[in-house]
Amino acid sequence: MILNFKTNIKDITLYVVILWVINEIIQFFFKSDSCDFFILHVSSFYGAIIFCFCIYKLKYYPIFYLTPIVIELIYNYLIFKCVDYVDILFSISGILFSLLIIHKNINNE
């Protein structure tokens, strides 16, 4: 099994929010080229996880799980006039991770 521990979406969401805040603090205070690429893009990963967990808890339609990708596309187009494929990739990774946790949570209930 990939995840043998008991998956509690509330706890995982709390950990992801803490990591996201730490990432944003690092992004604001420490500007370095060596880890700047990862720090800038991992926010998309965290955001997608939090967004998907909220969609799951609010019991919206599953199509809404694609919303983080749409948000990334609109944001990048409006701000940068281009598509950042790495942000899209990190968002897709966050969506897949959250769906894995949600699936594991459904099977444990």
Torsion, Cα of 20, 23, 28, 33 (10° steps): -140
Residue 87 CA to residue 106 CA, distance in Å, equals 28
Whole-number pLDDT of residue 1: 43
Q: Where are the domains of the chain?
A: 9-108
pTM value is: 0.84
Per-residue pLDDT of the chain (109 residues; tens, 9 = 90+): 455 555 688 888 889 999 999 988 888 887 766 667 778 889 999 999 999 999 999 988 989 999 999 999 999 899 989 988 999 999 999 999 999 998 888 777 6
Closest CA to 55 of 102, 4, 97: 102
The C-alpha atoms of residue 76 and residue 85 are separated, in whole angstroms, by 10
Residue 41's H or E segment, with its range, is: helix 33-58
pLDDT at 7: 65
